[in-house]
Amino acid sequence: MQIAKRISILVAAFLLAAATPSFSQIFKSSDAAPSGTVIYSLPQTSIRVTVKVSLSKFTAGPYAAYSEKYLGVSADRTSRNSCVIEEVELVPLVEADQSLSVALNIGPGKNANVNFLNFCSQGLIIAPGYFSGENAPMRFPSPVQPSFNEAVANLQTQTVQLYKSVTNEDGEVEKVAVAQTQTVTKSIEKKAEETAQLIFRLREKKIDVLTGDTDANYSGAALGDAVEKMNILEKEYTSLFTGKTTTATQQASFEIVPKAKNQKQNYVVFRISDTEGLLPADNMSGRPVYLELTVTDGKIAGDVTPEEMAASKGKVAYRMPLVVTARLLDGQKVIGQTRIPVYQFGKLVYFPLDLASGK
């Protein structure tokens, strides 16, 4: 369907140009196109990189400092974030090179129109403005913020001894102790101690239920439900010591158009931040992920020369792609590799229209 669409755009125009001698002329997009000619574009390759990452957020528990003392297990006291690449995909796309266009007068040759269409169908020349890509999905969900549910009350009552002065029957002043109850906030260590006691009581209760050493009668699904609820409570209480980890997924696509004039074919495609996830290449707050292009056979042709810009009678100008090895690098780690044909790296070639059919 895409090839047919490209061809149909060009057909009506170049059928009108068959009455005059054929010629071809490359011109910059800023220049005026010669009158009475068919305008087509040379193809160029863009590379779409689609990446999916997993964002993890670890939040240390409020009682982490007392985990070893009351539970006998070590716990991380430092909260942290991390971003890990899960999947990558490199896809080459073909589009019209907007920097150069070709003006072609097909001429009176009876086979010229058919031969020109063959070049279109092979993708060596394409309609101006053509782009083969589609909108790529981007998913950036809101990060989940973990929360901790306290297992014990925050307040407690305590009795303190106060003293007041009273006068006895002999007229002497003496101090008398008076008990007074106050409501105060528990210390973190006190709450940690009480929570640990709850955890151990839950474990004892679970053993009693599983062994039948309890006044309640659990059987079948009821037994499973009771154990599951106790497991959930124990996990929630234990997280106050060991912390919680939440995860989210991000996905985005980034595109690179390789430049033939670049001596080093290394491009920053996107960046990764442990706190923000995927970032565009110009956001310096993340570490860069590079796309490295390596020519395995031949060399990059470079920009179009003045000689190639000159007119060439009876010939069609087209591009042959140069195949490169594309590697996606996160530091020194290769996270994706494939072979890609890059049109703008290939040579510009002229071919006589009258001989295009192999006559």
Provide the token pair at 238. 């234990």
Residue 26 half-sphere exposure toward CB, CA atoms < 13 A: 24
**Is residue 129 within 8 Å of residue 101, measured between CB atoms?**
no
Q: Are residues 121 and 238 in the same domain?
A: no
Do residues 207 and 262 share a domain?
no
Do residues 261 and 141 both lie within one domain? yes
Dig out the tokens for 62 from the structure.
């409020």
Per-residue pLDDT at 112:
66
Question: What are residue 43's DSSP bridge partners?
Answer: 96
Asked if residue 150 belongs to a domain, the reply is: no
Count how many Cα atoms sit within 13 Å of the Cα of residue 33 in the half-sphere of its side chain: 16
pLDDT value for 19: 41
Sheet strands (E) in the chain? 23-28, 38-59, 80-105, 155-167, 173-185, 244-256, 266-273, 277-279, 287-295, 315-319, 322-330, 333-342, 348-352
In a domain, 96, yes or no: yes
Contact 289, 269 (CB under 8 A): yes
Q: Are residues 344 and 300 in the same domain?
A: yes
pLDDT of 4 reads: 46
The count of domains in the chain is 2
The kind and range of the H/E element at 112 are helix 112-121
What is the domain range of residue 28?
2-145+247-355
Residue type, 205: K
Query: How many C-beta atoms lie closer than 10 Å to residue 128's C-beta?
Result: 16
Identify the three-state secondary structure at position 333: strand
Looking at the fold, whether 238 and 326 belong to one and the same domain comes out as no
pLDDT, tens digit (0-9, with 9 covering 90-100), for 90-117: 999 998 888 878 887 766 666 666 667 7
β-pairing verdict for 287-295 and 266-273: antiparallel
Choosing from 217, 242, 267, the residue where a domain stops is: 242
pTM summary value: 0.74
Segments of the chain with pLDDT less than 50: 1-21, 356, 358-359
Structural domain ending residue among the three candidates 242, 266, 281:
242
Which of 242, 268, 288 is the C-terminal boundary of a domain? Answer: 242
pLDDT at 309: 64
**pLDDT of 284:** 93
What pLDDT score does 13 carry? Answer: 42
Burial class (CB in 10 A: 0-12, 13-18, 19+), 104: buried
